[in-house]
Amino acid sequence: MASNHVSNTLGEIVLVGGGGHALVVAEACRASGGRVFGVYDDDERCEAAREPDGAEWLGPLLSAGELARPWILSLGDLGMRARVIQRLGPHTPDAQRVVHPAAVIASTASVARGVFVGPLALVHSRAAIGVHAIINSAAIVEHDCTIGENAHLAPRSVLGGGVRIGPGTLVGLGAVVLPGLTVGAGCVVGAGAVVRRHVPDGSRVVGVPATPID
């Protein structure tokens, strides 16, 4: 886990993934005074490369194993992110945090390498964000929460105090997890769901209250 200090100052950075999520990450980089050096994606004409000030295409995703610059995963798909993490190594020192300047990170929170925190997101006191997690736009992570590696909190999702989110789990748009609960590894919490009980590993839950689906 990274130290508690989170800097909003960036230099040049490489995006690994060039789709819609990459546009959001690139915007946060620019807002923080950084510059996107280039992008790895399987599509040479990916969205990040087609922007008016788009990033130079550097090659397909799995050619990103010899990165020599700070980088961040900018893929939205958690399965593909996991495959790239396995190739690149989750704890490489070159993995870069990108925190939008309109986000709020408590001084006692801990944000690991490779994490993206979007605009208007809040990471509150003593929360711990694991490597390569996504805390997307306007998501709220209350005090003492723990977010696992490569988890994704979608825009406007809310975690009450002391919630634990397992690695590789997606908490969907506008979903709510009540205080003190655990959502296991590899889970999906559907958009707008309200989680009122612990969620076992590998579960998919939807609705109010959230219930499992096949």
Q: What is the pLDDT along the chain (214 residues), one digit of tens a residue?
A: 333 345 555 678 899 999 999 999 999 999 998 889 889 999 988 888 887 677 788 888 877 766 777 899 999 999 999 988 888 775 577 889 999 999 999 999 999 999 999 999 999 999 999 999 999 999 999 999 999 999 999 999 999 999 999 999 999 999 999 999 999 999 999 999 999 999 999 999 999 999 999 7
CA distances from 60 to 14, 36, 43, 64, 92 (A): 13, 17, 7, 7, 20
pTM of the model: 0.92
Phi (first) and psi of residue 123, to 5 degrees? -115, 110
How confident is the model at residue 11, as a pLDDT? 78
Do the domain assignments include residue 124? Answer: no
What range defines the domain where residue 51 resides? 12-88
CATH number at residue 32: 3.40.50.20
**How many domains in the chain?**
1
| Separation CA 165–CA 25 (nearest Å) | 22
Do the domain assignments include residue 55? Answer: yes
Do the domain assignments include residue 50? Answer: yes
Do the domain assignments include residue 7? Answer: no
Do the domain assignments include residue 186? Answer: no
Do the domain assignments include residue 39? Answer: yes
Do the domain assignments include residue 179? Answer: no
| Separation CA 25–CA 36 (nearest Å) | 10
- As annotated, the active-site residues are 143
Do the domain assignments include residue 212? Answer: no
